[in-house]
Amino acid sequence: MRRFQLFIDGEFCDARSGETYQSLNPATGEAIAEIARGGPEDVAEACQAAQIAFEGEWGAMAAADRAKILSCVADMLLEQTEQFAQMETADVGKPITEARNIDVPVAAAYLKWYSEMTTATLGQTVPLSTTEQVDWTMYEPYGVIGGIVPWNFPLFLAMLKIGPALAMGNSIVLKPASITPMTTLAICELFAEAGLPAGALNVVAGPGPTVGEAIVTNPHVRMVSFTGSTDVGRRVMELAARNITDTSMELGGKSPNIIFADADFDQAVAGAVFGLLLNNGQNCIAGSRLLVQKPIYDELVSAVAQKMASLKLGDPTEDDTQLGAIVSATQLEKVLGYIQIGKSEGAAVISGGKQPEGPEFQHGLFVEPTLLADVSNDMRVAREEIFGPVLVAIPFDDEDDAVRIANDTDYGLGSGVFTTDTSRARRMVHALKSGTVYVNTYNQIYPQAPFPGWNGSGNGVERGLAGLYNYVRIKNVIQDISGKPIGWF
């Protein structure tokens, strides 16, 4: 069994309490690692180290040198793709092909892109109505950033916090999800090898109510970047308000994936399935509400159900496995509970709906990909985030009806539209109230493309140039160039 320590002030160390806990493989139920259980004292030490680093060597480092460190880590990560992919699969339960082809290379791509953004020009000259003064804006790092990431994409979501924070010259104290901390702790060794000064990056694993809250309320932390559920996000914002700490929240979703009758049928079926089942539906932007125009509703729902039923569910370490395990027993219970709720509300189970049988599933946390039909948008399964492989199918009449149903949600993270009518696509893009709209595709991500959350899905922006602004503060400068005395006294 591997042993993982905390990473504080450039060194791996045990928790002050000496406590540890075990990380479990959700596909087998086996303990795979012993993790140091951090606490408030560890967070305080990490935040102090981060502040000292920011005021010292790290804060004085040239942007070009910061870029070299981030780029070096990206290169080393790609060289160790298989090791990190296997850790991610064991910790999360996702298929090895997914970890190998998405999680690790995407994490490296983010670091590489942010390395190129260290010298991005974010300020501007402000035109004035006078020639006697000049005005310009500049952006400066906050200092210490607090980062909190969830369990669904541990490695590359950690890089979404670490990358921009370091690129903009901040130091960071990061809390990985307590049940999936391995890759985030492991990559700290690469940062150290790349020459990152001590204290610039600190990772403290442990429970949210202790470690997470200690990070958010620490006086050194001037901005908190959080990815997770909307309920926990509200708690983070409440705690951050005590110190008037800025926040960036990337929260939950209940995204509509809208299929019009004129859509390319095969493309729409593929988009519906991939839109939900990437990472087994444990994905904040998953297209978990499938809105289908009535003329093709029965045919398309049947095709989607057949496709979902054909996917190989099983051992995530096998290359041909397409769906792995649910991340934890708590999450499995939640998913199964929502399937029962849907049935009690009158939804019809068209595919899946239960745990698979067989010796290979005996000790793991598995559930069949499930399609619920005959769903109305007022049902709980259509309104609440399930965060698992459960797709609800809702019929609609026309564009106006689709927009009404799609926007009738507390969330606003993503939407999908499948149609061959380009004019309709443009109308839908403008009508849908979400931070991202996919047209004839779904679940595509790029480091340079922004990822905003609307309404209950958060505030601020992840990724892209817009995401860099989360990690800096604006300063306005007004300078007199006339040499004349100011004022009227």
Residues assigned a catalytic role: 250, 284
Strand 6-8 relative to strand 11-13: parallel, antiparallel, unpaired? antiparallel
Dihedrals phi, psi of 372, to nearest 5 degrees: -105, 125
177, 213, 219, 229, 432 from 39: Cα distances, Å: 14, 10, 16, 22, 43
What lies within 8 Å, CB to CB, of 278 at 6+ separation is: 98, 286, 443
Which class for 127: exposed (0-12), middle (13-18), buried (19 or more C-beta within 10 A)?
Answer: exposed
Give the Cα separation of 389 and 18 in Å (integer). Answer: 38
Q: Judge contact between 294 and 373, C-beta under 8 A.
A: no
Q: Which two tokens stand for residue 425?
A: 């696509």
Q: Which strands make up the sheet holding 436-439, listed edge to edge?
A: 348-351, 370-373, 390-396, 289-293, 256-259, 414-418, 436-439
463 three-state secondary structure: coil
Which class for 345: exposed (0-12), middle (13-18), buried (19 or more C-beta within 10 A)?
Answer: middle
Q: Which two tokens stand for residue 385?
A: 């985030």
| Residue found by looking up tokens 């190989």 in the block | 312
Q: Which two tokens stand for residue 310?
A: 């054909």
Give the Cα separation of 159 and 226 in Å (integer). Answer: 13
Helix axes 81-92, 63-79, angle to 10 degrees: 80
Number of H helices, E strands in the chain: 17, 23
Q: Judge contact between 245 and 216, C-beta under 8 A.
A: yes
**Which of 205, 39, 176, 40 minimizes the C-alpha distance to 107?**
176
What lies within 8 Å, CB to CB, of 22 at 6+ separation is: 1, 31, 32, 33, 34, 35
